[in-house]
C-alpha cells in the first residue's frame, strides 16, 4: 500500500512545485514594481521603474491642469493655469494666502524710462516667442510645461530645476581655489556695505554658444543677503542659455531664488513653490527675442526687483510694462529685512577638467574692449534705497576670476548712468 501511494504523492508534490514555480515566475515578471516597493533587490529594471514613477509624480506636481495651452514655435508648450492653482500654493505656508494683485509701492523714478522707451518706438520691442500663437486669459498665468525629457536630463529628479552648486562667490572673501574647483566663472559688478531694497538694470540680450550640454551662460542681477556660508539668501533674474534645463540653446527669461545657498530651498522659475506669479502675459523660462547681432541691432531688457515696504514681498518687473509677481518675504531669513549686497553680470559653468577651459561664451562672446554693438552691456544700473527711491549705486566694484577668459569694465556717463561691458569667449590663446 505504501508503495502504491508513493507515486500519487510524488505527483502531487510535483504539481505543487510546478504551481509554486509558475507563481514565482509570474510574480517576478508582471509584478516587479510591487516587489520593488516591498523592498526587493535593486535590479536595473526596478531602478528604472522607480525613476519612472518619480518622474511621473514630479511632472504631475509641476504641471497643473491648464484651462488652455499654447504651442510655441520653439517647441515649448505654454499652459494657461488658473492663478490660484499655480505651484506656489503647494507651499504649506501659502495655504490661506491672499494673492497681492499689485505691489503697494513702485520705487520712485521707475516711470521716467517709459519716455526713453517711446523715443525709440520704431525699434522692435523684446517679447516672448509663444506670443505668436496666442495669449493667456485673465486670472490665469502662463507656465512653461515641463516635459519628461526635461526631468530626465537632470542628474536626479530631486535636482531638477536647481542650480548645480554654489554659484555666487563673495569677491572679497572666497578662496580662489574653490572657484576653480566649482567651475563657475563670473564677470560682475557689485555693491556692498549698505542696506539695499532692490536693484535695477537694463541688460543687453545675446545668445552665447554653449560648448557642453551641462554648461550654461547667464546674465542677471543678484539680490543677496547673509554670508556666503550655508544660509546665503539670493534672488536672481535675467536671461540664460541652458541646454540642460530647457533642451535647446534659446535665450530665455529666468528667475532663481534660494534661502540656503542653493541647497534644499529654491529653484529656477516656477519649478518649486515659492514665487507667486500675478502676470498673464510673460512666462518664466520662455524664449525671448529678438537677440542682438554682432555689429548690428542691439536689444535689451529691463529687470527690476524691489521690496514692497508695506507687505515686505520682493516684486519682479520685466520691461516697463510687466509686473510679474513676487517672492513672499517668509521664504527668506536675511532678505526678510533687506539685502546686504547686489551683483550684476555674467556667469558660466566651465566643466573642462585639469585647468583647461571651455569655449562657452559669456555675454556676446566678445571682450569689453570691443564696446557697443560687439560686447554685451548692463546700463542704467541702480539700487533701491530705504526711502524706496532708485538711485545710482555708490562704490561699485568689479570682479572676475580669470580676466583672460571673461572680463568686465565699468563706466559712467550721462546717457547710460552707471554701466559696464562684460563677457568673453572663454577658451582662447590667453585662456587655454
Ligand atoms: C547647442 O549648441 C551647441 C554648440 O553650438 C551644439 O553642439 C548643440 O547641439 C546645441 N544643442 C541643442 C540642444 O540644440
Ligand atoms: C584657476 O585656473 C586657471 C586655469 O587653469 C589658472 O590659470 C589660474 O591660475 C587658477 N587660479 C587659481 C587662483 O588657482
Over range 388-395, report the average pLDDT: 94
- Residue with the smallest CA separation from ligand 1 atom 10 is 249
Walk across the sheet containing 252-258 and list its strands: 267-268, 252-258, 233-241, 217-225, 339-349, 184-196, 397-400
Joined together, the cell numbers standing for residue 360 give 562657452
> Counting every residue, how long is the chain?
432
Q: What pLDDT sits at residue 18?
A: 55
Report which of 242, 274, 240 is spatially closest to residue 257, judged by C-alpha positions: 274
Q: What is the chain's mean pLDDT, rounded? A: 86
Q: What pLDDT sits at residue 119?
A: 46
Report which of 200, 196, 198, 259 is spatially closest to residue 226, judged by C-alpha positions: 259
pTM: 0.84
**Is 21's pLDDT higher than 60?**
no
The string of DSSP codes covering 274-332 is --EE--SS--TT-BEE----TTS---EEEEEEEE-TTT-PEEEEETTTEEEEEE-GGG-
- Residue with the smallest CA separation from ligand 2 atom 13 is 176
Joined together, the cell numbers standing for residue 154 give 537632470
Q: What pLDDT sits at residue 202?
A: 97
Q: What pLDDT sits at residue 12?
A: 57
- Residue with the smallest CA separation from ligand 2 atom 4 is 355
- Ligand 2 pocket check for 180: Cβ under 6 Å: yes
Distances in Å between the Cα of 24 and the Cα atoms of 11, 32, 41 are 20, 11, 15
- Ligand 1 pocket check for 212: Cβ under 6 Å: no
- To 5 degrees, how large is the angle CA 101–CA 103–CA 107? 155
How far is ligand 2, taken at its centre, from the CA of residue 355, in Å? Answer: 7
- Ligand 1 pocket check for 248: Cβ under 6 Å: yes
How far is ligand 2, taken at its centre, from the CA of residue 186, in Å? Answer: 14
| Ligand 2 mutation target, pool 184, 354, 359, 402, most atoms within 8 A of CB | 402
Q: What pLDDT sits at residue 33?
A: 40
Q: Tens digit of pLDDT for each residue in 154-179?
A: 888 888 898 865 444 444 444 333 34
- Ligand 2 pocket check for 429: Cβ under 6 Å: no
- Residue with the smallest CA separation from ligand 1 atom 7 is 211
67-71, 97-101, 119-123, 275-279: the lowest-pLDDT one = 119-123
How far is ligand 2, taken at its centre, from the CA of residue 177, in Å? Answer: 8
pLDDT higher at 8 or 247: 247
Q: Tens digit of pLDDT for each residue in 282-296?
A: 999 999 999 999 999
236 band by pLDDT with thresholds 50, 70 and 90: very high
Enclosing H/E stretch for 47: helix 44-62
How far is ligand 1, taken at its centre, from the CA of residue 216, in Å? Answer: 11
Distance separating alpha carbons of residues 42 and 160, to the nearest angstrom? 23
175-179, 355-359, 365-369: the lowest-pLDDT one = 175-179
Q: What pLDDT sits at residue 123?
A: 64
**Is 190's pLDDT higher than 90?**
yes
The catalytic residues are 236, 347
194 band by pLDDT with thresholds 50, 70 and 90: very high
**Is 184's pLDDT higher than 50?**
yes
Q: What pLDDT sits at residue 402?
A: 92
Joined together, the cell numbers standing for residue 233 give 539668501
Amino acid at each position: 500500500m505504501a508503495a502504491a501511494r508513493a507515486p500519487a504523492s510524488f505527483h502531487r508534490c510535483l504539481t505543487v512545485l510546478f504551481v509554486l514555480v509558475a507563481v514565482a515566475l509570474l510574480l517576478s515578471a508582471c509584478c516587479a514594481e510591487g516587489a520593488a516597493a516591498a523592498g526587493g533587490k535593486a535590479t536595473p529594471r526596478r531602478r528604472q521603474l522607480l525613476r519612472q514613477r518619480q518622474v511621473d509624480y514630479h511632472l504631475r506636481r509641476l504641471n497643473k491642469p491648464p484651462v488652455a495651452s499654447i504651442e510655441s514655435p520653439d517647441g515649448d508648450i505654454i499652459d494657461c493655469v488658473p492663478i490660484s492653482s499655480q505651484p506656489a500654493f503647494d507651499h504649506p505656508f501659502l495655504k490661506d494666502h491672499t494673492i497681492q494683485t499689485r505691489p503697494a509701492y513702485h520705487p520712485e523714478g521707475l516711470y521716467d524710462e517709459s519716455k526713453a522707451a517711446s523715443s525709440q518706438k520704431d525699434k522692435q520691442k523684446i517679447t516672448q516667442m509663444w506670443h505668436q500663437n496666442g495669449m493667456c486669459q485673465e486670472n490665469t498665468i502662463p507656465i512653461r510645461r515641463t516635459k519628461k525629457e526635461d526631468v530626465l536630463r537632470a542628474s536626479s529628479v530631486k535636482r531638477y530645476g536647481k542650480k548645480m552648486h554654489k554659484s555666487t562667490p563673495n569677491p572679497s572673501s572666497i578662496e580662489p581655489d574653490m572657484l576653480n574647483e566649482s567651475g563657475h566663472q563670473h564677470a560682475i559688478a557689485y555693491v556692498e556695505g549698505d542696506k539695499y531694497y532692490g536693484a535695477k538694470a537694463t541688460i543687453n540680450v545675446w545668445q552665447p554658444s554653449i560648448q557642453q550640454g551641462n554648461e550654461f551662460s547667464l546674465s542677471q542681477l543678484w539680490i543677496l543677503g547673509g554670508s556666503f556660508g550655508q544660509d546665503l539668501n539670493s534672488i536672481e533674474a535675467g536671461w540664460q542659455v541652458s541646454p540642460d534645463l530647457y533642451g535647446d540653446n534659446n535665450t530665455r527669461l529666468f528667475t532663481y531664488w534660494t534661502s540656503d545657498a542653493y541647497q534644499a530651498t529654491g529653484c529656477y522659475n516656477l519649478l518649486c513653490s515659492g514665487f507667486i506669479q500675478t502676470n498673464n502675459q510673460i512666462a518664466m523660462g520662455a524664449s525671448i527675442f529678438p537677440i542682438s547681432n554682432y555689429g548690428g541691432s542691439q536689444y535689451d531688457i529691463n529687470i527690476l526687483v524691489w521690496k514692497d515696504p508695506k507687505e515686505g514681498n520682493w516684486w519682479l518687473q520685466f520691461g516697463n510694462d510687466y509686473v510679474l509677481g513676487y517672492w513672499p518675504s517668509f521664504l527668506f531669513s536675511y532678505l526678510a529685512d533687506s539685502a546686504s549686497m547686489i551683483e550684476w553680470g555674467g556667469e558660466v559653468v566651465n566643466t573642462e577638467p585639469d585647468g583647461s577651459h571651455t569655449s562657452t561664451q559669456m555675454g556676446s562672446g566678445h571682450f569689453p574692449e570691443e564696446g557697443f554693438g560687439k560686447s554685451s552691456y548692463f546700463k542704467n544700473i541702480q539700487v533701491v534705497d530705504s526711502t524706496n527711491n532708485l538711485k545710482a549705486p555708490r562704490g561699485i566694484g568689479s570682479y572676475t576670476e580669470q580676466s583672460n577668459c571673461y572680463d568686465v569694465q565699468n563706466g559712467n556717463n550721462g546717457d547710460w548712468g552707471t554701466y559696464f561691458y562684460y563677457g568673453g569667449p572663454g577658451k582662447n590663446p590667453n585662456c587655454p
